[in-house]
A and B are shown apart, each in its own frame.
Chain A
Amino acid sequence: MKLYELTAHELHDKLMGREISSVELTNALYERIDEVEDKVNAYVTLDKENALAQAAKVDAKIAKGESISVLAGIPGGIKDNISTKGLRTTCSSKMLGNFIPIYDAHVIERLRADETIFLGKTNMDEFAMGSTTESSYFGVTRNPWNLERVPGGSSGGSAAAIAAGEAIWTLGSDTGGSIRQPASFNGCVGIKPTYGRVSRYGCVAFASSLDQIGPITKDVTDAAIVLNSICGKDEQDSTSLNVEVPDFTKALVQNVKGLRIGLPKEYFGEGIDPRVKSEVEKAVKKYEELGAAIVEVSLPHTEYAVITYYIIAPAEASANLARYDGVRYGYRNLEAKSAAEMVTLSRTEGFGAEVRRRIMLGTYVLSSGYYDAYYNKAMKVRTLIRRDFEEAFQKCDLLLTPTSPVVAYPIDGKMDPLSIYMLDVTTIPVNMAGLPGISIPCGFVDGLPVGMQLIGKVLDEATILRAAYTFEQATGYHKVFAPLGGKHND
């Protein structure tokens, strides 16, 4: 068993038992990165020097017999839209290609307090706008299960790094499925917490009413451990919730007896690959065997979720991305003759096609004469989507759906934007309603991982973690490695 194949909690035990040192572990991860990164391209920037210095500090603490957190000395990767002081943060955009943050995101402050190791910054769709990581200015990330396939997105680098053994844990961000869908495509665990659970301070804003940071890991236990580190009230984010954060590892109970699991019928209908559906239905059967009660529910406004999202998110993005004007930071066209021309040329040259498309769409739906027809209408439909969930949760404790209607598809750029948007139908409604959602592996189609999504009530991460943990322990899909990621190659 290679070190990079282990989980954070397993490695913590090895550190405490003095079987390995954090420096050894960190070096092992960089060796693995050297070995596979030219195939996978999961990272935009690596930070070996600082990572090893941090590892040495943790080793010194362990040597002195001081107590350390579970994540101390455990190497992870950070999505490149999360600010790291002094370490380039690009959002995988030419616009921020040389941007060095002057402060840490709140989640980074928390992880530093836990003395964890940052290996580097992971690749993503430019400004988190995409579902394939193909829109990165730094080149596509490839799926470790099949290098000709997309890793999903927008946190494609964070998920591929886990599957390829290039990080023990990673952070992603999820605006319409950007943690859960790549976790699903790469056979990982990915959780989007309740909106407001995790501070967005220092996460480069895309759609502020939807963005949320969360972990991508090899198993449910690690997801709970990273959540414990990053959740909690932060004064610097006005939408950060002032609520008690439970110890999420306490939710890892292997028991679903009496839990009522709702199956929203709209998520199992048209548009879903029948082979994916069949794998997810097997998972449902497994839950029944384990003692859960299965109930059918309906979320009648599901069909409107995608377009509602593609009005609201671009609208918010067009406002958030107005700050990139080439004046104070970011890419600048140096030939422009006037300030106005400089702004327009810098934005046109600094942003990629998908980002420009969404800024324009957002500008349009917010413009005078169209605001009511599009943006205001979409915000009202968002209310209906939210109410659907409230009603469904009268009948069940959590919902189970496919994470994505498909498995990872080929890297060929043949799909038009709307067809790609439509595939987000299973993850988007969760962001619209601000609910917690987790994706865990539940099967394979053509050797590619299938993920199932468990959706919880507001602030009820505990129930979906418990259900996810129970399934994981009863099945063991999390122990199957990607062809690049270990066992099969050894």
Chain B
Amino acid sequence: MKVTAQDVKYIAQLSRLIVPEADLEKSTEEFNQILNYADILQKIDTTGIEPTPYVLPISNALRKDVAKEGVTHEEALLNAPEVYNDGFKVPRVIE
């Protein structure tokens, strides 16, 4: 077993998610099923092989440093779940 129910709870916490107690066993099982299958990768010798994060050899896509019009205040707030004083409202952060 690669991960325990306790580990899955911790991974959920890192992901800012909650796994309900009732689903914990099944989630742990599915997690382990996938991670066990990943063991086949260990069969491959990758010594000296460069990783491929992106397939194409593009780097530093730059444009001229010219100011462009950005998003307006109204547009920025258009989809806000809660607005207060022309800003995004969130529950209290510091007690």
Instruction: Flag if B51 contacts A376 (CB, 8 Å).
Output: yes
Give the residue name and chain of the B residue nearest to A419 (CB): B33
Instruction: Flag if B91 contacts A383 (CB, 8 Å).
Output: no
Question: Which secondary structure characterizes the binding site on chain A?
Answer: helix
Q: Which residues of B are found within 8 Å of A328, using beta-carbon distances? A: 76, 79-80, 88
Interface size class of B (residues with CB under 8 A): 35 or more
Assembled-state Cα–Cα distance A125/B55 (Å): 25
In the complex where A347-B16, A364-B11, A417-B34 touch, is A339 in contact with B51 (Cβ < 8 A)? no
Per-residue CB contact flags for chain A residues 395-423 toward chain B (1 = under 8 Å, else 0) read 00000000000000000000011100100
B49, CB-defined interface residue at 8 Å: yes
A238, CB-defined interface residue at 8 Å: yes
Tell me the count of chain A residues lying within 8 A, CB to CB, of chain B: 69
A310, CB-defined interface residue at 8 Å: yes
B52, CB-defined interface residue at 8 Å: yes
In the complex where A337-B91, A364-B3, A367-B11 touch, is A348 in contact with B51 (Cβ < 8 A)? no
Instruction: Flag if A347 contacts B56 (CB, 8 Å).
Output: no
Instruction: Flag if B49 contacts A380 (CB, 8 Å).
Output: yes
Instruction: Flag if A348 contacts B18 (CB, 8 Å).
Output: yes
Number of residue pairs A-B, CB distance < 8 angstroms: 156
Selected from A347, A367, A416, A434, the residue in CB contact (under 8 A) with B17 is: A347
Instruction: Flag if A209 contacts B53 (CB, 8 Å).
Output: yes
B78, CB-defined interface residue at 8 Å: yes
In the complex where A235-B63, A307-B37, A363-B14 touch, is A384 in contact with B46 (Cβ < 8 A)? yes
Per-residue CB contact flags for chain B residues 4-44 toward chain A (1 = under 8 Å, else 0) read 00001001101111110000000100110111011011101
Q: Which residues of B are found within 8 Å of A322, using beta-carbon distances? A: 16
Interface residues in chain A, defined as those with a beta carbon under 8 Å from any beta carbon in chain B = 98-100, 102, 195-196, 209, 235, 238-241, 301, 303-304, 307-308, 310-311, 318, 322, 325-332, 334, 336-339, 341-345, 347-348, 351, 356-357, 359-361, 363-364, 367, 374, 376-384, 386, 416-418, 421, 432-434, 458
Interface residues in chain B, defined as those with a beta carbon under 8 Å from any beta carbon in chain A = 3, 8, 11-12, 14-19, 27, 30-31, 33-35, 37-38, 40-42, 44, 46, 49-56, 58, 61, 63, 71, 75-76, 78-82, 88, 90-93
Name 24 interchain pairs, CB-CB below 8 A, sorted by A.
A196-B58, A209-B55, A301-B44, A304-B40, A307-B34, A307-B37, A328-B76, A328-B88, A329-B79, A332-B81, A341-B91, A342-B91, A345-B18, A347-B15, A347-B17, A348-B17, A356-B15, A356-B19, A363-B15, A374-B41, A376-B51, A377-B42, A417-B34, A418-B37
